[in-house]
Amino acid sequence: MTRPLIGVTTSRRSGWRVYPLVNLNLWLTGGRGIRWGAGRPADLTTVDGIIIGGGDDIAPELYGGKLGISARLDRARDAFEQDLAEQAIARGIPVLGICRGAQMLNVALGGSLDQTAWQTYGQQEVIRTVLPRRAIDIAPGSVLERIAGPQEMTVNALHTQAIDRLGEGLRIVARDKEGMPQAVEYPRDPFALGVQWHPEHLFYAHRQRAIFRALVEAARARAEQRAALPLAAG
């Protein structure tokens, strides 16, 4: 069976070490990746799904905010990924957002971010680790629950910001114990899921691989549907 092709956006700073992990997860779950980014060729007509990766903060002017604690900005990447997310949703292309990618999915759909999320939710200790140290609860009846199961999940955390006002059509489907949003999803087609953590670092955990598998399966279904269109037309 042909492996669906997934476009993967990365940071210019850290993409060299993160992309291989993302692609490993895709390969383990039946897909294959191609690395995209600002300044790199990117054509949505050539892929079956996309992953908007982590790294870098999103410039607050994109959602009507003011520059606060954010320091690691890449405005070229912001423009590239915002357009990519908008087009993917409009064209019915499956999307997985990872950390910054979840935030960009929210911003592209008209939402905003909380630049001081750790303080907002009363968390004095900022957890920044690739190890699973943070417990989250998954919303009953969500797509994420169907993918990963209803049990409490332990995830990692590398972010400073979090989703604030929800983008159009999105819903929050996971929160940590203090109430901070940890995942959002589009409850109808196309498949669109954003997770605040980094499942690519947790490839040894079957529930984390299941997130990539869900994207790959959605991408495969779209590819098969597209392949059948000429036959239907004939």
pLDDT tens by residue, 198-222: 999 999 999 999 999 999 999 999 9
What is the CATH class of 5-233? alpha beta
- Give yes or no: 206 in active site: no
pLDDT value at 233 more than 50: no
Q: Given a cut of 70, is residue 71 above it in pLDDT?
A: no
List C-alpha distances in Å: 169 to 75, 113, 225: 25, 16, 24
Catalytic residue among 81, 159, 185, 200: 200
- Strands 113-114, 162-163: pairing kind: antiparallel
Reply yes or no on whether the pLDDT at 38 is more than 80.
Answer: no
Q: Is 61 noted as a catalytic residue in this protein?
A: no
The proportion of the chain whose per-residue pLDDT surpasses 70, expressed as a percent, equals 95
Give the active site residue among 81, 185, 198, 217: 198
Say yes or no to pLDDT of 73 above 90: no
- The answer to whether the CB of 196 falls within 8 A of the CB of 182 is yes
Report residue 188's pLDDT band, with 50, 70 and 90 as the boundaries: confident
> Measured between alpha carbons, how far is residue 6 from residues 83, 96, 102 in Å?
17, 10, 17
Arithmetic mean of pLDDT, 40-45: 85
- The structural domains of the chain, with segments of one domain joined by +, span 5-233
Distance CA 60, CA 41 (A): 26
